[in-house]
């Protein structure tokens, strides 16, 4: 049987699997170690009451002949799609049509699957460091060439570092697709409208597509920072946008997300909206009805208020990390409009060494920057997704060993 | 931007979308028509109490700090995987290991995505008629050549018809992958162990893979009919198996499924278990925790009993259709170990013509056999997924216009 060799030869494991493995091995050998996890970007606050109530109500409905729902609309129920448009786009002056919204089980699924829209020889650019799914999903499809010395030969890297203020340069050659994630995972940094406009203008000039991952937009506190790429004129002609309830409403274990594919997005006469619909209708069967009801409750007045309290909680944690590390002389970035703090490793220590040091000496788990790409070397990611108490304790432990 | 031309040029819409469109148009012009739906294979009985209770309990858990679950294990929670193995495999004498079970949001997702394991030039065979997702997902990946006169030039069709008793012939040339679905969608027919063994032996001899879709196994009533392909010796070396809670427990709108990828499944030294895990860990983020709890409740003693009552209900409907049509001189197949009845159209009428006739004259919706492949022409699928009353009424209306 002929195997997908691109998939079979993909290097190493998924970053977080490797971290989980190292932590598990350390914990097994040191059962008394009180390990504090500021590694994976997973929320810790419970679902808010408005969401729990909606989920239970929908569960009850599903148990009655009148309220039962079988297969739903492939791209999401009206009540959820309309709530998304009314709350996330209309107030920002962005017009999104009903049939431009595709509800899914997760932004990871969408950003992983949407490369199926691209030709086998499409050229790709990513910021560096980067969320690994953009890279791995294209590597599996054979678009990235060979993996040599930690880099894919056909992938264009847009390095983001302290020197350029984590603002990616435009690609220095034409590419078909650029992935952008703002607020950024892993660096926690954002782009202003002016900075994002440069990418939109570049994409329009170059007949290129921007995949815009806005999974962390709920953390933006400055009204001048764009919540959506569609706040930039022309973006509907060049960008898809992936959003999620995971970080907005603590849905990492509940699973709901949505992707916007504007009808203006046409390349070589082919509508991406049409072919993404075809892809989803063929290989996906919609999101669970109770889960869509739970997601819609995120937009209720109570849901909005209750979830904002959780976001505020994580923001307070981020501040503790940012200011604690700064007070110890560490250079830190992000953590203002994002739940991620991106720190320089002390003395430019290799990031996996720093990972092991923190795990074994401070019993704190973070994410080595190198796991996010070559330009992440010498950096380290900490997340604001723990309790305030444990976050404070983790910062104290880190400072103590530096 | 370079487009996936295989996706962009895929012919026509998805079968059920076309049916929905025709029904919607007819209903709009005839608002008083009482349309009875025996078309799409969607369950109608509510979720059973054991499942609703588990879903609500998990929702409550998610609202507490102690009970909250963020990202789950990529491939499913222990409690669900163990329940699957203990209930669906161990009693049949089949040994499945914990890390051979991959829980997902749906069998449609799995059967659509698993072709990513195959090389770009892998050769594919399907039974004809066939569930369209096997074909469309491979066409999108460019494996099937051109679509000419209703057939893909590089796809091997294994015709199943009244003449061969709906038992597919072995491929007459070597292929890399054969998709088999039993109990069959759309024909409702089954294979005996001896018939299935021929395919397993053929696959082992030819270093080929069988993708076995067992989504309808809950409808099997004869203990001699295999519930799993792994009841056939050697199948763990040549077969993946996709199963679902959709039909077993009415989860079409609740979304949970699982796929078995045995560790013995190795081609060219590559473990399909390993690379499917890599695929899923990269492009999927697990099934909602409350939904997995609901799925696990399917295996509780109450869940088993309550769901069996629903299966019995659908079986009774199938009997009404089968015997009603037979009494009117129609040749019918399936409907014994499956919720599908596969009927010959009267006077060999083209199946879309018969669809339109039934819709407009009897106000009954079924599925034209031709929509499932060339060998489905002259046949028509009816489903047992309506109420008993409406099923009786539909059969009476069909008989009246014949």
Look at A288 and B289 and tell me if their CB atoms are within 8 Å.
no
Closest Cβ opposite residue A4 in set B4, B116, B288 = B116
Q: What is the DSSP pairing of strand B364-365 with strand B36-37? A: parallel
Q: Say if the Cβ atoms of A284 and B44 lie within 8 Å.
A: no
User: Cβ contacts (< 8 Å) between A339 and chain B: which residues?
Assistant: none
What integer pLDDT is reported at residue B13 of this predicted model?
Answer: 64
Q: Give the pLDDT of residue A200.
A: 98
Cis ω on the peptide bond leading into residue B183 (within 30° of 0)? yes
Three-state SS at A240: strand
Tell whether the model's pLDDT for residue B25 goes beyond 70.
Answer: yes
DSSP B342: E
**Cβ contact A44–B106 (<8 Å):** no
Closest by Cβ to B290, choosing from A55, A72, A121:
A55
Chain A closest-CA separation from residue B371 CA (Å): 14
What is the Cβ-side half-sphere exposure of residue B247, based on CA atoms within 13 angstroms? 29
Q: Which of A49, A59, A291 sits opposite B56 (nearest CB)?
A: A59
Per-residue pLDDT, B211? 98
CA atoms lying within 13 Å on the CB side of residue B168: 29
Report the C-alpha gap between B29 and B13 in whole angstroms: 22
Among A10-14, B196-200, B232-236, which stretch is predicted with the lowest mean pLDDT? Answer: A10-14
B280 neighbourhood in chain A, CB within 8 Å = none
Q: Do A14 and B250 touch (CB under 8 A)?
A: no
Question: Is B119 in Cβ contact with A282 (below 8 Å)?
Answer: no
The set of residues, in sequence order, having a beta carbon less than 8 Å from that of A401 and lying 6+ positions away, is A357, A358, A361, A362
CA distance A328 to chain B (A): 32
Pairing of strands A257-260, A266-267: unpaired
Comparing CB atoms, the residue among B112, B278, B287 nearest residue A255 is B287
Residue A402: per-residue pLDDT? 86
Flag if B64 and A46 touch (Cβ within 8 Å). Answer: yes
pLDDT tens digit sequence for B242-258: 999 999 999 999 999 99
For A212-270, write each residue's pLDDT tens digit. Answer: 999 999 999 999 999 999 999 999 999 999 999 999 999 999 999 999 999 999 999 99
Q: What is the pLDDT of residues B284-296, one digit of tens each?
A: 999 999 999 999 9
Share of chain B above pLDDT 90, in %: 96
pLDDT given for residue A325 in this prediction:
97
pLDDT for residue A370:
93
Domains and CATH numbers, chain A: 13-42+302-401 (3.90.1150.10), 52-299 (3.40.640.10)
Is the pLDDT assigned to residue B172 strictly greater than 80? Answer: yes
Are residues A1 and B118, on separate chains, in Cβ contact within 8 Å? yes
Mutation site, A40, A53, A59, interface B, largest B CB count within 10 A: A59
Chain A: give the shortest CA distance to residue B207, in Å: 6
Cα–Cα distance between B139 and B136 in angstroms, integer? 5
Per-residue model confidence as pLDDT tens digits over B334-343: 999 999 999 9
**A288/B14 CB distance under 8 A:** no
Please determine, for residue B12, whether its predicted confidence score (pLDDT) is greater than 80. no
For residue A379, the distance in angstroms to the closest alpha carbon of chain B comes to 23
Q: Where do the H-state alpha helices sit in A263-350?
A: 272-283, 289-297, 301-327
Give the chain B residue whose CA is nearest to the CA of A306: B63
- What integer pLDDT is reported at residue A198 of this predicted model? 98
- Please tell me which of the candidates B8, B62, B120 has its beta carbon nearest to residue A47: B62
Tally C-beta pairs within 8 A across A and B. 264
List strands edge to edge, sheet with B340-344.
B332-334, B340-344, B379-383, B367-368
Q: Tell me which chain B residues have a C-beta less than 8 angstroms from the C-beta of A42.
A: 70-71
Question: pLDDT in tens for each of the 402 residues of chain A?
Answer: 999 999 999 886 668 878 988 999 999 999 999 999 998 889 999 999 999 999 999 999 999 999 999 999 999 999 999 999 999 999 999 999 999 999 999 999 999 999 999 999 999 999 999 999 999 999 999 999 999 988 999 999 999 999 999 999 999 999 999 999 999 999 999 999 999 999 999 999 999 999 999 999 999 999 999 999 999 999 999 999 999 999 999 999 999 999 999 999 999 999 999 999 999 999 999 999 999 999 999 999 999 999 999 999 999 999 999 999 999 999 999 999 999 999 999 999 999 999 999 999 999 999 999 999 999 999 999 999 999 999 999 999 999 998
Structural contact between residues B205 and B196, judged by C-beta atoms closer than 8 angstroms: no
| A49: chain B residues, CB-CB within 8 Å | 63
What residues contact residue A31 under an 8 Å CB cut-off, 6+ apart? none
pLDDT tens digits for B81-140?
A: 999 999 999 999 999 999 999 999 999 999 999 999 999 999 999 999 999 999 999 999
Chain A residue with CA closest to B274: the answer is: A8
Secondary structure percentages of chain A, helix, strand, coil, to 5: 45, 15, 40
Which of A8, A51, A291 is nearest residue B288 as measured by Cβ atoms? Answer: A291
Helices (H), A162-256: 193-206, 245-248
Count CB-CB contacts under 10 A for residue A368. Answer: 26
Q: How far is CA A145 from CA A372, A394, B105, B142, B210, in A?
A: 18, 40, 32, 19, 30
CA-nearest residue to A265 within chain B is B1
> What's the CA dihedral at B277, B281, B284, B285 to 10 degrees?
130
d(CA A17, CA A148): 22
Q: Is B28 exposed, middle or buried (0-12, 13-18, 19+ CB in 10 A)?
A: exposed
ipTM: 0.96
Prediction pTM value: 0.96
Q: Which residues of chain B does A262 touch, with a Cβ-Cβ cutoff of 8 Å?
A: none
Helix segments in A328-373, DSSP class H = 351-357
Q: Do B285 and A56 touch (CB under 8 A)?
A: no
**Cα angle for residues B270, B133, B89 (degrees, 5° grid):** 60
Going by the DSSP 8-state scheme, the letter that residue A130 receives in this structure is: -
Q: How far is B379 from chain A (nearest CA, A)?
A: 23
A contacts of B56 (beta carbons < 8 Å): 55-56, 59-60
Shortest alpha-carbon distance between residue A238 and chain B (Å): 10
Backbone angles phi, psi at B228, to 5 degrees: -140, 145
Nearest Cα of chain B lies from the Cα of A269 at a distance, in angstroms, of 10
Nearest of A160, A180, A185 to residue A42 by alpha carbon: A185
Residues of chain A with C-beta less than 8 angstroms from the C-beta of B284: 105-106, 108-109, 112
Do the bridges between strand A124-128 and strand A177-181 make them parallel or antiparallel, or are there none, so unpaired?
Answer: parallel
pLDDT at B20: 87
Partners of residue B3 in chain A, C-beta under 8 Å: 117-119, 267-268, 270, 275
Q: Mean pLDDT for chain B? A: 96
**Phi-psi label, residue B114: left if phi above 0, alpha if psi -120 to 50, beta otherwise:** alpha
How far apart CA A193 and CA A228 sit, in angstroms, is 10
């Amino acid at each position: 049987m002929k195997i997908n060799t691109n998939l079979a030869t993909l290097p190493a494991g998924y970053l977080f699997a490797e971290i989980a493995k190292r932590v598990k091995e350390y914990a097994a050998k040191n059962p008394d170690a009180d390990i504090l996890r500021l590694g994976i970007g997973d929320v810790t606050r419970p679902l808010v009451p408005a969401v729990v109530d909606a989920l239970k109500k929908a569960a009850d409905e599903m148990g009655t002949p009148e309220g039962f729902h079988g297969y739903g609309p492939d791209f999401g129920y009206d009540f959820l799609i309309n709530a998304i448009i009314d709350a996330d786009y209309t107030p920002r002056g962005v017009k999104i049509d009903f049939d431009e919204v595709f509800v899914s089980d997760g932004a990871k699924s969408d950003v992983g699957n949407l490369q199926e829209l691209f030709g086998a020889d499409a050229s790709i650019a990513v910021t560096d460091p980067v969320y690994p799914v953009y890279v791995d999903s294209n590597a599996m499809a054979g678009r990235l060439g060979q993996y040599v010395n930690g880099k894919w030969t056909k992938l264009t890297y847009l390095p983001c570092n302290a020197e350029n203020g984590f603002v990616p340069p435009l690609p220095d050659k034409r590419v078909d697709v650029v992935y952008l994630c703002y607020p950024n995972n892993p660096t926690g940094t954002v782009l202003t409208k002016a900075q994002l406009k440069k990418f939109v203008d570049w994409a329009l000039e170059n007949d290129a597509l921007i995949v815009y991952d806005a999974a962390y937009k709920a953390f933006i506190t400055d009204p001048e920072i764009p919540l959506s790429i569609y706040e930039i004129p022309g973006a509907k002609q060049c960008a898809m946008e992936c959003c999620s309830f995971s970080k907005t409403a603590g849905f990492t274990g509940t699973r709901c997300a949505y992707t916007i594919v504007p009808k203006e997005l046409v390349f070589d006469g082919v509508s991406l909206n049409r072919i993404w619909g075809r892809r989803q209708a063929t290989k996906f069967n919609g999101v669970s009805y109770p889960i869509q009801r739970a997601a819609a409750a995120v937009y209720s007045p109570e849901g909005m208020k209750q979830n904002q309290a959780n976001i505020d909680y994580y923001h307070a944690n981020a501040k503790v990390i940012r200011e604690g590390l700064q007070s110890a002389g560490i250079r830190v970035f992000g953590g203002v409009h994002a739940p991620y703090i991106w720190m320089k490793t002390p003395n430019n220590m290799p990031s996996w060494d720093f990972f092991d040091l923190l795990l074994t000496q401070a019993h704190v788990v973070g994410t080595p920057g190198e796991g996010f790409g070559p330009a992440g070397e010498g950096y380290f990611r900490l997340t604001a997704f723990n309790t305030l108490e444990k976050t404070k304790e983790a910062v104290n432990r880190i400072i103590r060993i530096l």
